Each structure stands twice: as structure tokens, then as C-alpha cells.
A and B are shown apart, each in its own frame.
Chain A
Amino acid sequence: MSLLAYAFMRWAVMAGVISALACGLIGPFVRVRRLAFLAGAVAHSALAGLGAAYYFGYSPEIGALPAAILSAFLIGWIEGRGHSDGGGHEDALIGAVWAVGMAIGVLFIARTPGYNVQLMSFLFGSILTAGPDRLWFMGAGLSIVAATLVVLWRPMIAISLDPEFARLRGLPVEALNRLLLVLIAIAVVLLIQVVGLILVLALLTLPAAIAAHWARDMRMMVALATASALAAIGLGFAQSIWLDWPAGPTIILAATGLFGLSMGLRWRVRGAQGRPALSESTRNGS
């Protein structure tokens, strides 16, 4: 009998597809804006909300989402202040938000009696525990991310490419930046369901890094990042069942393997073309 005959397997596959779409949509922005550290901090500090929700007896994602959004705003504010002050020490403060969020979460978990399997699945991911409720939550989150990016695609590209020029054109750069942070926070919470908050950063960066090897524009980058994330999640999930390994880490290793493959292929293609045409023409003005 096919594994897909089981409802939990179908749900897991759907959770994987939703996660891949979230990776594909947000990963390229994380990459071009160089926000990987921010995304990592958001993911880890979400543990504060997750732990609090668990302590008070609510569903973990109810706490994780507001905590992720709050920490995204806080980190965005710290970054903004760093840029305007020219202090250059904002990375230390972001690291502190990262650690403090985790510390609060761990304390809440420690104060909660018993051992909760669901909570552990949020820490390290468990695609197989995805049920209809969680899928609805993930689907709603993905819809918000996708609809926002479809409507505001061009301004998001403009503020990512050259925020100063966008500001001069009268675009609400700060508001759009905050909105992007919210979208990143939503995507992080969705991905936590699949790989856990410890490993979520890899899913936001590796598929986009693979896409960056080949994409000529952001649309292509989104398409390739989505395809790469689908392949990584699919391969990792299949392998985890085959080898009886935990799904989250196996998915990350699959993504890493695909990244290595893409990098090797890129070297080979560049090598076959001789000296890369791109850097050849960038040396002098012409």
C-alpha cells in the first residue's frame, strides 16, 4: 500500500509543499537583503512566545507568531538605529535578542510540568506531526505572505535594490521594510513546523543560495528557490522515512547536498565557458 494512503503522510507532504513555497518566496529577499542573521535571531527568539504559550496551555504557534513578529520589529529597530548612529555594534545586540528569546523560552519550558512531544517537535521539527489544524495555520500564513508579495512586488524589489533611491521617489521605505520583517517572521514560524526553530535558518538560506547561482532576476530566483526547497524537502523527507532518520536534519542535509551539487555544476559551466563573461567585463568601464 502506498504511504500516501495514510492521512498523516498526505498532511506531511502538504506541509512540505507549503514550507517550500514559503522558502521560495521569502528566501530570496533574506539573501539579497543579507538578513540571514536577522532571520536566525527571529527564529530562535520565537522560542520565548512558544514556551510562554505552552506554559499557559495554548497551542505553541499562537505564542510563536507574535514573538517572532515582535522580535523582528525589535531587531529592525536595532538595525535602523545602528545605521543612523553609525555605531556598527548592532550585531551584538541582535545576538542578545537571539539568546534572550531562547532563554525566556527555556525558562517557561522548565517551569511547565511534564514532557511535551509537540514542543520538542517545534524545537527540532517534525513534519509527520502536521495535522489539519496546523496545515490551516500554515496555509493562512503562506497566503498572507504570497498575497502581500504579489501586490507589493515592485516596491519590495525597489527598496531592496536601493533604499535611498526609493526614499527619494517618495516610497514608504520604513513601512515596507517593517512589512518585509513581518513576512519573514511569518515564514519562519511556518518553517519551524517542518525543520524546527534550530534549523530553520538553513531552509531560508540554502534554496535561495542555490537559486542565486542561476537566476537572472528576482522572479526567476523565487521560482528556482521554490523548486530547490521542494527538492530538498522531498528528498530529505523520503530519505528520513527510508533510513528512519529524523526528518528536519535530513531535509537540511539534502538542501546542503543540493547546494554543493549546484555549486559544482556552476563551476563546471563557468569552466566550460572559459573565463566568466561577467567578471571579464566588470574590470574596466566600457
Chain B
Amino acid sequence: MTRATPALQIDNVTVHRGGREVLKDVTLRIDGAGLIGVVGPNGGGKSTLLSVITGRLPVSRGAVQVLGQSPARAAPRLGFVPQAAGFDRGFPISLRGMVATACLVPGLGLWRQPDRGQEARVDAALARMGLSDLAGRPLSALSGGELQRGLIARALATEPDMLLLDEPTASVDLDHAERLFELLCGLGQRVPVIVVSHDLAQIAAHSDRVFCVLGSVWEAARHASAADLAEQIFKRPAHCARREVGL
């Protein structure tokens, strides 16, 4: 990715799901590193926006460029972190085993064992998330916060050019949500980190930019408080401070 290539460029995108228009004429641009918050009510289109970026959902109209490529081509360069709350903890695998699934590469690499470099990447990702001591534990023995950090470690082990997180604080308490967002801030120093969250307080406190999603997408004013965000997305979205994004 060159300096001129935006990390994410979405132009006039409309998306239909089940015959319903979920996103309409969405335009946004993210140039480089930083913590980007995405907020909105349930059904507003946050998850649809994530699915469009990861190439899971085709757009009905408009254009999407992720890291200068189509979403499908850019997908292996994305570190996607799902909700820990929705993850199957009953799956018999250790934390390290789960993180090591990041080392799989398509094609002939499918049946190769991980090499030393890949093993080192897994260990480094676990250490970075403070999980080295828990590496051998099965998923069922991890707390919500530990599993969430494990899922971030798995994404980091892919050495992604962009991180996408879906509700990372949904299964952790207030204290751990704070720590998790501090970690994400650190990661946001190097790559764009896009966080979809209902946690308006954490988003307002830590994000460099915040996008509100309610069918359409607009950027909240810089340094908006959680109360401002709540007012924008739940009460008077039409009256929020809109401005052209990425210009």
C-alpha cells in the first residue's frame, strides 16, 4: 500500500439484504493508521458494513477498495476479530492451537506444518496480548476477556494490514473493556483498527474518528462525547454534525 492509497475507500455504496436496503449511498475514506470507531443501533447496518469490507457481502451499487484492492483480494490481509460472546468455547482446542490457525495459507501450504517463523509469530502475538501463560489452556477454561484477547492475538498472528473488530467488549466487564481499548489504541498506532461497538463510552474516549451507521453513514464530530454519540445515533441523527469524510 502506497502513501497515496487509502486503507479503506467506500464510494456511494448501497447494500440490500433479504430484499431490504440496509446501507444507502455510503461514502467514507480511511487513510491510514488509527483507531476508528463504528457505532449505531441494532439493525443500523454496522455488521453489514463489516461484511462489505471483508468481502462477505456483495454491494448492490457503488465501489469498495480495501488496502487498494477489491475486498475479496484484500481479505487475507485483514485481521478479523469476531465477538468472543458468539464464539464456540466448547470446541476442543487450546488457546495456542486456535491462534496457530492464523498460520494456515491457501494452496499447497494447506497441508504443511507451521515453520519456525510461523511458530514465533504465534508466540509473539500471544505475548503481546499477555496470554503466554495461558497458551496451553482449552478455550472452555478462558474468561470472556481472555478469549477476546486470544481472538485479537489470532488476528495479529496473520500480521494484518488492517484490524476489524466486532463488539470486542460485549463479553467483558468495564475494567477489562478499558484495558482492551488501551491495547487497541496501541495497535492503532501502526495499522488502521476499525472497531464496531455499542460501548459508546470507550469509543468516545479512545477513537481517533467515529462513524455513525444508521442506514447511511456519517462521521461524528471529533472528540464527541458518549452522550453526543448517543444523541446522534438514537435521537436526532439528522441533526448531527455531518461533514464530508476523508477530504
Chain B 145-191 interface residues, beta-carbon cutoff 8 Å to A: 145-146, 148, 154, 158, 171-173, 175-177
Task: For A220, give the chain B residue with the smallest CB separation.
Answer: B92
In the assembled complex, the CB of B78 is this many whole angstroms from the nearest CB of chain A, namely 6
From the candidates A85, A171, A221, name the one contacting B104 in the complex (CB within 8 A). Answer: A171
Residues of chain B within 8 A of A217, CB atoms compared: 92-94, 97, 138
Q: Does B98 contact A (CB under 8 A)?
A: yes
Q: Does A244 contact B (CB under 8 A)?
A: no
Residues of chain A within 8 A of B89, CB atoms compared: 282
Chain A 244-286 interface residues, beta-carbon cutoff 8 Å to B: 277-278, 281-286
Residues of chain B within 8 A of A221, CB atoms compared: 92
How many B residues face the partner with a CB closer than 8 A? Answer: 43
Q: Does B222 contact A (CB under 8 A)?
A: no
Residues of chain B within 8 A of A285, CB atoms compared: 143-146, 148, 171-173, 175-177
In the assembled complex, the CB of A208 is this many whole angstroms from the nearest CB of chain B, namely 10
Q: Contact: A212 with B92, CB < 8 Å?
A: yes
Chain A 191-226 interface residues, beta-carbon cutoff 8 Å to B: 212, 215-218, 220-221
Chain A 127-183 interface residues, beta-carbon cutoff 8 Å to B: 151-152, 154-155, 157-158, 160-162, 164-172
In the assembled complex, the CB of B55 is this many whole angstroms from the nearest CB of chain A, namely 8
Q: Does B221 contact A (CB under 8 A)?
A: no
Q: Does A57 contact B (CB under 8 A)?
A: no
Nearest 5 Cβ contacts at the A-B interface: A285-B145, A285-B172, A285-B176, A170-B106, A158-B101
How far is A217 from B100 in the complex, measured between Cα atoms in Å? 13
Q: Contact: B143 with A154, CB < 8 Å?
A: no
Residues of chain A within 8 A of B78, CB atoms compared: 168
Residues of chain B within 8 A of A168, CB atoms compared: 54, 75-76, 78, 80
Q: Contact: B75 with A167, CB < 8 Å?
A: yes
Chain B interface residues toward A at CB < 8 A: 18, 54, 56, 75-76, 78, 80, 82, 87-94, 97-98, 101-102, 104-106, 110-111, 113, 138, 140-146, 148, 154, 158, 171-173, 175-177
Q: Does A99 contact B (CB under 8 A)?
A: no
Supposing A164-B82, A169-B106, A216-B138 touch, asked if A286 and B145 sit within 8 A by C-beta, the answer is yes
Q: Contact: A164 with B93, CB < 8 Å?
A: no
Residues of chain A within 8 A of B82, CB atoms compared: 162, 164-165
Q: Contact: B142 with A282, CB < 8 Å?
A: yes
Q: Tell me the total A-B contact number using a CB cutoff of 8 A.
A: 115
In the assembled complex, the CB of B184 is this many whole angstroms from the nearest CB of chain A, namely 15
Q: Contact: A282 with B92, CB < 8 Å?
A: no
Task: For A87, give the chain B residue with the smallest CB separation.
Answer: B18
Q: Contact: A160 with B91, CB < 8 Å?
A: yes
In the assembled complex, the CB of B166 is this many whole angstroms from the nearest CB of chain A, namely 10
Task: For A85, give the chain B residue with the smallest CB separation.
Answer: B18
Q: Contact: B93 with A282, CB < 8 Å?
A: no
Q: Contact: B101 with A157, CB < 8 Å?
A: yes
Between-chain CB contacts (< 8 Å), 11 pairs: A28-B92, A151-B111, A161-B91, A168-B80, A169-B76, A169-B105, A278-B140, A282-B140, A285-B171, A285-B172, A285-B176
How far is A164 from B151 in the complex, measured between Cα atoms in Å? 13
How far is A283 from B140 in the complex, measured between Cα atoms in Å? 11
Residues of chain A within 8 A of B148, CB atoms compared: 285
Task: For B140, give the chain A residue with the smallest CB separation.
Answer: A278
Residues of chain A within 8 A of B173, CB atoms compared: 284-285
From the candidates B80, B106, B140, B142, name the one contacting A172 in the complex (CB within 8 A). Answer: B106
Residues of chain B within 8 A of A161, CB atoms compared: 88, 91, 93, 98, 101
How far is A171 from B176 in the complex, measured between Cα atoms in Å? 33
From the candidates A162, A218, A286, name the one contacting B143 in the complex (CB within 8 A). Answer: A286
How far is A285 from B85 in the complex, measured between Cα atoms in Å? 11
In the assembled complex, the CB of B50 is this many whole angstroms from the nearest CB of chain A, namely 11
